[in-house]
Copies of this chain bind each other. A is one copy, B any other.
Amino acid sequence: MSLDQLQAVVTIAEEGTLLRAARRLHISQPPLTRKVRALEEELGVALFDRGARGMRPTPAGHTLVASARGILAAVDAAAVSVRRCADGRGGEREGPGPER
């Protein structure tokens, strides 16, 4: 599991189709297919229901999307905290707090 894959899952869930998600992620559709399938195989769980209309998240997929949003936000917050800690001054408490 990688942050890349989590971002992919979140975007697909938001867009509903691989093509639109791929456009938003600045990649092509086939790599996205592989990313999702790889994650599904790694977890041993189907994350999306494929239909002729697009992809709809399964209950497991929905759960993962919710968790992934928090994780991605935490990563971003961590980067900000680290830069804050060394950029201007040299002392800051750990403050990635604003998660979820």
Determine whether A90 belongs to the interface, using a CB cutoff of 8 Å to chain B: yes
Please give the count of copies of this chain that the complex contains. Answer: 2
Q: How far is the CB of A53 from chain B (nearest CB, A)?
A: 22
> What is the interface of chain A mostly: helix, strand, loop, or mixed?
helix
Residue numbers of A with Cβ under 8 A of B are 1-4, 43-47, 58-60, 62-64, 66-68, 70-71, 74-75, 77-79, 81-83, 85-87, 90-92, 94-96, 99
Given contacts A1-B79, A63-B85, A67-B94, 17 further A-B contacts (CB under 8 A): A1-B75, A2-B2, A2-B4, A43-B83, A44-B83, A45-B83, A59-B85, A60-B83, A60-B86, A62-B94, A63-B95, A66-B94, A70-B99, A71-B74, A71-B75, A74-B99, A99-B99
